[in-house]
Amino acid sequence: MPRPRTHDPDRVLDAAEALAVRSGPAAVTIRAVATATGVSNGALYHTFGSRAELLGRTWIRAAHRFLALQAEMVAAASDGVDAVIAAAEAPAEFAARHPLSTRLFFTVRRDDLLGDDLPDTVRTELAATQKTLVELMKTLAHRLWQRRDAHAVDTLTICLVDLPTAILLDRDRLADPTARRQLRAAVRAVLDIGPAPA
């Protein structure tokens, strides 16, 4: 009796990611991924359980990659302000290292990719990625202002989410050095004002 063909889950996630980015989330079917990887439909269902779980795992991998890179950049910063700037610039560095993951994570609408039929384990992991980002903002707020309140986190949300989205992502300027300088200047300006009183 022939043994089932083994496969590398990362290679499967690579294929799902490429299909989602190039052709849209609807293009990510078990059959399409099987065709792209040479892995049988049955083996894919055995590993991922469903198309929904495959899509969820693909997005979670991109999220984990981004959050790990962002944490690495923050850890290398010399002070609190530089740490916030590093975290804000993480999407540009992420694009250089993982271009497809960047497009999946930042340009494919999460609601289009992740439906209501996600397994509970995947939902739990998705919630954990959001919590990781919030905890990073709380840590940075404490480092800068010895605060973790909503106003401090809101100021860091502007720096880490709103400004990179407006300056780098929405205008497709991730590789533009001028845009990165503008981002750094904008983040410094927000930090100079600081959060509203607690």
pLDDT tens profile 148-192: 999 999 999 999 999 999 999 999 999 999 999 999 999 999 999
Question: Residue 114's pLDDT is what?
Answer: 76
Q: Which two tokens stand for residue 81?
A: 């302000």
The reply to whether CATH 1.10.357.10 applies to domain 9-193 is yes
Q: Which two tokens stand for residue 134?
A: 């919030």
The SS3 assignment for 135 reads helix
**Per-residue pLDDT tens digits for 92-134:** 999 999 999 999 998 887 777 777 788 888 889 888 988 999 9
Angle at 158 between CA 154 and CA 164, to 5 degrees: 150
Q: Which two tokens stand for residue 164?
A: 């990179």
Q: 3-state secondary structure string, 39-106?
A: CCHHHHHHHHCCHHHHHHHHHHHHHHHHHHHHHHHHHHCCCHHHHHHHHHHHHHHHHHHCHHHHHHHH
Q: Which residues are within 8 A (CB) of 142 and not within 5 positions of it... i.e. 6 or more apart?
A: 148
Instruction: Please tell me the pTM assigned to this model.
Output: 0.89
Question: Residue 8's pLDDT is what?
Answer: 83
Instruction: Tell me the average pLDDT of the chain.
Output: 92
**Per-residue pLDDT tens digits for 128-153:** 988 999 999 999 999 999 999 999 99
Question: Residue 6's pLDDT is what?
Answer: 47
Question: Residue 12's pLDDT is what?
Answer: 94
- Domain boundaries defined on the chain: 9-193
Residues 21 and 108: beta-carbon distance below 8 Å: yes
Distance CA 155, CA 137 (A): 9
The SS3 assignment for 4 reads coil
Give residue 7's pLDDT band: very low, low, confident or very high (50, 70, 90): low
Give the number of residues written for the chain: 198
